[in-house]
A and B are shown apart, each in its own frame.
Chain A
Amino acid sequence: MIYGDRNLGVIVQNITGRQGTFHTELMNAYAREVGGRGVVAGVAPGKGGREVHGVPVYNTVREALREHDATASVVFVPASAACDSVMEAAHAGIDLAVVITEHIPVHDVMKALAYAKLHDCTVIGPNCPGLLSPGECKLGIMPAHLATRGNVGVVSRSGTLTYEVVDELTRAGIGQSTVVGIGGDPVIGQTFVDALARFEDDPQTKAVVVIGEVGGNLEEEGVRSTDLPVVTYIAGVSAPPEKRMGHAGAIIEGGEGDARSKVRRLSALGIPVASRPSEIPGLIREVL
């Protein structure tokens, strides 16, 4: 697994919001199932002293960390304040912030990431489903029942498409070491390069599925950076240019970042590229 194991202590920022409350319960249900620590505290300014599904709530990250041993945070804070929350977490000493929030202005994201870096805080997302290491820990909103423990890593810019691929892998009897959604925004904390470097250092992971989409060229950059066997899938071969396909980062701009040229360049590197999700398990078997 990468980023953390069952001993990881987690806080949830905006734990009193609808999403924060709902997913705290799901994360802790998973922690109970695998014998992990899960969410140990929540943060919501002005709501300190409450409890959410038995989890104590604090006004600030600093207060929460004074009472609890936690190194990771899952951020469910609305877009207008999400980056402030990431900086608060980094400043208070959180090592890993997973930002679920979408629609954050990109200039805010750039600033928050630069600030987090100054405090050695790793950021996953924003606009991501988080991560799941089957049998170890879950940070975020991924449906845990689709996954099964194994030795294939999955890294993706997408949410539900990741679940689709995980479901295909599990049905084919191929387990996963860690599934990480790095987010659909143009600027994100952990990129394919970073996640693949972690997978490379992880003895459990023997191969990785890279799920990309239109926009940018970070899939190629990631694949070039690793020695691990990799299988890729790129969504959006039918996407028209200059149209934002749901994700803020999924856009073919100035003739760059279209899926066909990504597929062409990845194929030229000798990397297997699935033309639909259902082909992925077969391709993974070939590289394992």
Chain B
Amino acid sequence: MKLLEYEAKRVFSGYGIAVPKGVLIRAPEEVAAHLPELGDGVVLKAQVDVGGRGKAGGVLMADKATAAGTARELFSREIKGVPVGEILVEERLTIEHEYYVSIAIDRSSRQPVVLFADAGGVEIENKALADESAVRKVVVSPLLRDIPPFLMRELLGGAPKELSPVINALYHAFQEKDAMLAEINPLVTTPRGVYAADAKLIVDDNALARQGIAVNRDLSEREREAEKHGFSYVELDGTIGVIGNGAGLTMSTLDLIEYYNGRAANFLDVGGGADQERVMHAVRLVASMPEVAVIVVNLLGGITRCDEVAKGIIAAGVAPTVIVRMAGTNEEEGRRLLAECGYRMLESMDLAVKAAMEVAP
């Protein structure tokens, strides 16, 4: 789950990383009371989860006289379609130099990877693509608590040594907060020291519980409802509902719909051991999307009981046509039950998707 800038800054600050003085406001009139502590120049930053926020008009400069008006202006904006509900108002830093530091997970080496660049700011990712030598990177053994000094020297090159405790603190936050990504861009030097001018933190969805995060904000309401039943669920914008078991097979079913020029309405992986109850909930959930005209159920696996699945589909009793492809135990019984209630069970996923296309072309 992605944290917002102000939340990430709160976390980083807990690790001793300096962040600009700032307050979170939810209405334009709140800004005035905080101006004395923030100084003459302030930055107003919309707390929205979108990339390229600055370019999209989500960050505005102001001074004492203009702060209230600027806040009103920013609250009225939508940043890439996302309304602004919260603004972080911060003191304006005197920046000497901008750097970029980011810690992510390197799938290839199976270790954390730390990226550092001598230039920070909004364009760094484009620059890095154009010139790989602009970004230095080191991988760190996950068995180590700190970035060892020799790797830190390699990372920093000629950059000031005073950055190194900040980067090491970021590495601690990355480890202890179960981060998939911890980033400061720009990391800035000022006459008062090193500051995290921006902050990004993505927490591993598999670690939300132990991080004390009760609700995954990245999910829609229906996606959260699905999660309660143990389904993996993603909403799309087509007309053909999809229920599968296993992420790969379900994705493959979606792809097959696209291959035949159809549009899938969703991704739903019911998981292992799909019994009557789970199948019923899955079918009802997918049928609850108004756009869905037909549902393809594609289940495969040694231990899937086809008679249970059939009973679940029948018990759901939904309006959209349900087309079934399944293989497992008690296949014949499942086929018989479905046929009795007028459902079609087909031999392959190709045939099932083609049949669905006839209902919802």
Contacts and interface: CB of A to CB of B under 8 A. Distances in A.
B110 A187 contact: yes
Nearest to A249: B107
B118 to A, nearest CB: 21
Contact of A164 (B142, B175, B178, B249): B249
Contacts of B348: 278
In this complex, the member of A113, A246, A249, A277 whose beta carbon has the largest number of chain B beta carbons within 10 angstroms is: A246
A184 B269 CA distance: 13
A238 B263 CA distance: 9
Interface stretch (B191-199, B203-211, B332-340): B203-211
Contacts of A32: none
A66 interface: no
Given A105-B207, A106-B206, A246-B232, A235 B255 contact: yes
Interface string B105-143: 101101110000000000001000000000000000111
B242 to A, nearest CB: 10
Interface in B174-233: 175, 178, 180, 204-207, 210, 232
Given A218-B107, A237-B258, A158 B249 contact: yes
B37 to A, nearest CB: 36
A187 B251 contact: no
Nearest to A171: B348
B143 A248 contact: no
B110 A164 contact: no
Contacts of B267: 239, 245-246
Interface residues of B, number: 47
Contacts of B204: 105-107
A167 B143 contact: no
A254 B202 CA distance: 12
Contacts of A283: none
A264 interface: no
Interface in A224-275: 235-240, 243-250, 254, 259, 275
A211 interface: yes
Contacts of B142: 107, 110-111, 113-114
B350 interface: yes
B300 interface: yes
B170 to A, nearest CB: 15
Contacts of B327: 167
B347 to A, nearest CB: 11
Interface in B38-83: none
B319 interface: no
Given A110-B110, A114-B143, A187 B206 contact: no
B147 interface: no
B234 A243 contact: yes
Contact of A114 (B111, B246, B250, B302): B111
Contact of B264 (A184, A214, A238, A276): A238
A106 B302 contact: no
Contacts of B180: 106, 186
Interface in A203-219: 211, 213-214, 216-218
Contacts of A164: 249, 252, 300, 349
B320 interface: no
B247 A245 contact: yes
Interface in B339-361: 348-350
Interface string B25-37: 0000000000000
B244 interface: yes
A158 B301 contact: no
B259 interface: yes
Contact of A144 (B232, B300, B302, B349): B302
The 7 A-B pairs of least Cβ separation, nearest first, read: A158-B248, A143-B302, A246-B247, A160-B246, A161-B248, A110-B142, A105-B207
Interface of B: 105, 107-108, 110-112, 125, 141-143, 175, 178, 180, 204-207, 210, 232, 234, 236, 244-252, 254-259, 264, 267, 269, 300-303, 327, 348-350
Interface of A: 22, 26, 79, 103-107, 109-111, 113-115, 141-146, 156-164, 167, 184, 186-189, 191, 211, 213-214, 216-218, 221, 235-240, 243-250, 254, 259, 275-278
5 contacts: A107-B204, A211-B248, A216-B107, A217-B107, A247-B247
